[in-house]
Copies of this chain bind each other. A is one copy, B any other.
């Protein structure tokens, strides 16, 4: 009987409209009310229209810290929670709120694992300009992200890392809420975003989390204030669950690194793992990795952590671990030595050139992301298929000087969307008389 199982999970009985009314009036909900509401969401006993009204009330009224922690905990426990405690040593994950050209998980996870902190990374697929981490990995021939929990656990135990997709059994309440938020204009809510992220991350069996909270043109959070609100909310949820969270606020105004698109970003990640690659991609890998090592308790300072990560990139241990990871997840390990030969390649490479001479003052990340999306690198809708080969290769970065007709970037494309992508991409560049030299991507670290 459904009722029996409800009673087991939620000792108190609620009338959903009474809980909605309370939140509507800005009154704090009790832990019991929140647990019972989320139980109703999970088992389907609360209809969509009541959930939708509740989401709007939360959007407009917010949560206090206790409500936020209880809501996230209830979402977490709506599904399976992995227990990796039998694997010795610290387990730390990183989550990024998402950006354009953000391939950092790929070099980061092996670098951190090579330094002795395990990285059990479970990613959602979601929507985005250029695919998510799972899409990027899947551009490596053979690479599988649907390993199942047992193999995930074994791989983490053996290699110290594994990267898989969410199973149906992780935070099922989040799937219901997420689908509804998308169509009820309740996506951009700090407590709803924070609890959605944490309900999935805490299910991984981690000890601590580093949140890369992106801010700027190409990010979900457009202002420092929004980013720090989200960071605070995530830290609150983590603290209540006994899982410390370090928030790193990073600049997402211009695209990260020199490539946007799935296979292109794998190639750039391999470059970073060789101790090469664009300076900002390396910086993000080193600094986020340093915070993960600090969270894991294997170093005493950020500076020591940064040295260790840099050494793992420059010394080959991170690349080596990536090779073993690819193999362990059924991918073709030759990709590590010959990315150009193994990764899918698009048929054409079309330059987009500077219409005037000057300094590159800004490259609007979101426009570059949309250009990649138009070529087929990302998904507009869940059903869309991603083209792993296409994307954008940046030829200049902010602060560079360009002459008329010089390439700003290249469209790496097949048949789809070239003209629209060119227009979008051209619109992303602001060329002027002067430009500030690019600063650090790291804006703030909240430990």
Q: Considering the complex, which residues of chain A in the window 34-49 have a beta carbon less than 8 Å from any beta carbon of chain B?
A: 47-49
The stretch that binds B, out of A54-62, A101-109, A360-368, is: A54-62
Q: Which A residues fall within an 8 A CB radius of B? A: 16-18, 20-21, 24, 47-53, 55-57, 59-61, 180, 182-186
Knowing that A18-B185, A24-B56, A49-B183 are A-B contacts, what are 19 other residue pairs whose CB atoms are under 8 Å apart, sorted by A's residue number? A16-B183, A17-B182, A20-B184, A24-B185, A24-B186, A47-B183, A49-B52, A49-B184, A50-B183, A52-B53, A52-B184, A53-B184, A53-B185, A53-B186, A56-B57, A57-B60, A57-B185, A60-B60, A60-B61
Q: Helix, strand, loop or mixed for chain A's interface?
A: helix
A184 with B17: CB separation less than 8 A: yes
* Minimum C-beta distance from A429 to chain B (A): 29
Residue of B nearest to A60 (CB): B60
Q: For the complex, give the distance between the alpha carbons of A21 and B53 in Å.
A: 13
Q: Which residues from chain B contact A59 at a C-beta distance below 8 Å? A: 24
Residue among A21, A51, A56 with the highest chain B CB neighbour number at 10 A? A56
CA of A18 to CA of B183 in the docked complex: distance in angstroms?
9
Nearest B-chain residue to A59, judged by Cβ: B24
Docked CA distance A56–B20 (Å): 10
Whole-angstrom CA separation of A61 from B24 in the bound complex: 11
The answer to whether A21 touches B56 (Cβ under 8 A) is no
Chain B residues with CB under 8 A of A180: 49
In the bound complex, CA of A24 to CA of B52 (Å): 13
In the complex, which of the residues B17, B18, B24, B56 contacts A53, with contact meaning CB atoms closer than 8 Å?
B56
CB <8 Å contact, A55 and B53:
yes
Chain B, Cβ-Cβ closest to A55: B53
Nearest Cβ in chain B — how far from A285, in angstroms? 36
CB-CB nearest in chain B for A188:
B21
Question: What distance in Å separates the Cβ of A20 from its nearest Cβ neighbour in chain B?
Answer: 4
Residue of B nearest to A184 (CB): B53
Rounded to whole Å, the gap between the CB of A371 and the closest CB of chain B is 23
Report how far A137 CA is from B52 CA in the complex, Å. Answer: 40
Once the chains are docked, how many angstroms separate the CA of A183 from the CA of B47?
10
Cβ of B49 and Cβ of A17 under 8 Å apart?
A: no
Chain B residues whose C-beta falls within 8 Å of the C-beta of A182 in the assembled complex: 17
Smallest distance from the beta carbon of A61 to chain B beta carbons, Å?
8
Shortest Cβ gap from A125 to chain B (Å): 21
Bound CA span A17–B49, Å: 14
User: What are 23 contact pairs spanning A and B, CB under 8 A?
Assistant: A16-B183, A17-B183, A17-B185, A20-B184, A20-B185, A21-B185, A24-B56, A47-B183, A48-B49, A49-B49, A49-B51, A49-B180, A49-B184, A50-B183, A50-B184, A53-B53, A53-B184, A53-B185, A53-B186, A56-B56, A56-B57, A56-B60, A57-B185
How far is it, in angstroms, between the C-alpha of A50 and the C-alpha of B24 when the chains are bound? Answer: 17
What residue in chain B is nearest A25 (Cβ atoms)? B185
Residue of B whose beta carbon sits closest to that of A26:
B60
A59 to B20, CA, bound (A): 12
Give A20 to B53 CA distance when docked, in angstroms. 12
What separation, in Å, do the CA atoms of A51 and B55 have in the docked complex?
A: 13
A61-B57 Cα distance, complex, nearest whole Å: 11
Check B48–A47 contact: CB distance below 8 A: yes
Chain A to chain B: the 6 pairs with minimum beta-carbon distance, closest first: A53-B184, A21-B185, A56-B56, A49-B52, A48-B49, A20-B185
Give bound CA distance, A18 to B182, whole Å.
11
Which B residues touch A183, using CB under 8 A?
A: 16-17, 47, 49-50
